[in-house]
Structure 1
Amino acid sequence: MNPGDIINKSQTIFIYNEDSSNPSCSIESSFMVTINNSPDVDILNDVFAINEFTLPNLINGNYYTESGGNGNQLNSGDIITDSQTIFIYNVNPINTSCNNESSFTILIEEERDVTIPNFFTPNNDGNNDTWIVNANNNLIKEIYITDRFGKIVGKIKPNTIGWNGLYNGKPLPSTTYWYQIIFTNGEAKNGAFALIRN
């Protein structure tokens, strides 16, 4: 063996030296090299889930909320409801300084239960007199309504009385209008609806 050689399995290494002028004069020492291989650890792909994610069973390693086997230990079957990075950590039981780790990210998105009407009829008959967007869990920040030229003719909040088809107190004509819904997470949804006057 030579300096720089890589040892990848446990073994005894001998160091031997002899007097070049007298081969019968020699000395030897030895030392043991113990190789502890890093333990296997499961690798999971990043996850996108609606409302919650259940941690699956592991073969190699345990779940933790922090790197290095730190934080809270989680168990297979635990339900995750918040977006976070989960660490899978495994340690060699013979040599605890020999360990291995992987991690994956869980992105939890709330289910968007949003009702967007396709039309409304502001004729004061008590049916569909306003254009109302209903949403659960305060998912929507605000809603903009524009005409075909992109001019903002209304700005409303979800789960309120809605838009009555007026702009500066005057009724707008029957036609198609466009909406942009701004969600609280910064995303936007665009679409169209009809104002129908009888």
Structure 2
Amino acid sequence: MNLFKMLRCAFLLMPALFCYSQTSSGSTAVVSLEICSNESSVDLFTMLNADAVAGGVWSPSLSGGQGIFNPAVDNEGTYLYTVTTNYVTLYEVEVEVSVVDPIAATTTSTTLCSNAGPVDLIGFTNDTSNQGTWVPELSSGTSVFNPSVDEPGIYSYIASGACGTTVSEVYVEVIDTANSGISTSLSICEGSSPFNLFDALEGSPDLGGTWSPPLRNGSGYFDPQRDAPGVYSYTVGNDYCGYSSASVTVSIDQSPFAGSDAVADLCVNNGPVDLYAFLGDGPDAGGSWSPALSGGSGWFDPLTDQEGVYTYTISNGSCGMDTATVEVRLIDTNNQPNVSLAITDLSGNNSIHVQIPNRTNYHYSLDNINYQSSNSFTNLSGGKYTVYIREIEGCGFFHKEVVLLGGPKFFTPNGDGINDYWSLFDISNIDYTIKVFDRYGRPIDTFDNHSIGWDGTFNGNPLPSADYWFLVNFEDGTTKNGHFTLLR
């Protein structure tokens, strides 16, 4: 059996490829031929061996005439070439034609999120060999696109093959991952103009998001006169790359109110006075005074602080500050009027009666705390008292000291244990000595406030029933006298 095989390939007019192989078994040869689909017509006879005999017939017939194969019109398959003479086959060959398509150029696009992983762009072309060249070159040096490194844009894939060179394009769009910024807090004054909450977000938030709950003006502006304080969430993003949210916590500051300017006329003998009380109705508490007061707060002490203008300042966050002033003027006390005290003591109703001109212009007190309009004090026990007199309209302030004696009007020294001694009582807050005299002025006994008293004797002998007199000498040098009765 005569077998032979021949392979021949030729690049004729690029990008056309003509490649055939020829085998022979017996009298019929078989030629395999590959033709690029983008080639013009090809004369199949020229693909035969050099000993091919001309003048034969092709079956099936070709659109271009004898032996002319047009890949755009004719079908690939087996074509038989036969040369006969007088019904005798002189030459016969089969040509198996395969039409090869060149690598198809493509134009595609893809959208990637900026936080996506690397993507192989070769999958967006028709060339699985990945032997072409990418322009511009990718950072990976291959066909892999990394959104975090490579720039978005058009990437061209240039592939050369047997059927020519093709250029495919991949348009890569990179969508930034949504950035809503960093949550923060905002204090805004109640009287402020509407404020864009977007400007309060920290970081670099993306524009175009939405606020929840919605604001009254329909945008991102917070109006303290219409919107409520609270947490407002800003959301930005898309369904493709997801969403991001941040919030602004809004509080509304009240405008500070320091009160109204005032003038305070104070007596130099006043006790400390709270200047805050002069600022009118409703000033905010917690402010500061300037210049500072000696008490360290808002209390003015006429004895240590100077008269002048004192400024009260109150601040409240975004609303700034407000001030009010109190001008303090010190008024000296008036001259002391003619004051005398009428007292009743050694009685069942000890009393003090203040005698003063225009008594209704004054208030009276025994402790300088509780004052009364009446100029009389009754039902007093014995003891040392200070009577305070304060002018109602003005700065007059006076005081006098007085001692009320408390003691029995009589005593009965008969040894029954009841009223056996005579002495003063209810005078525990002062030291004194007492001298007792008879009606003739003769001294009979002397004792002090630590003694039990006089027992009604003289040199150990009982004295008769009679009236007796006493003289009290107090430690401050003042004296008082009176009388009592001894009964037997």
Task: Provide the TM-score with structure 2 as the length reference.
Answer: 0.24
Please identify the structure whose Cα radius of gyration is greater. Answer: 2
Greater RCO, 1 or 2 (C-alpha within 8 Å, sep 6+): 1
Task: Provide the TM-score with structure 1 as the length reference.
Answer: 0.46
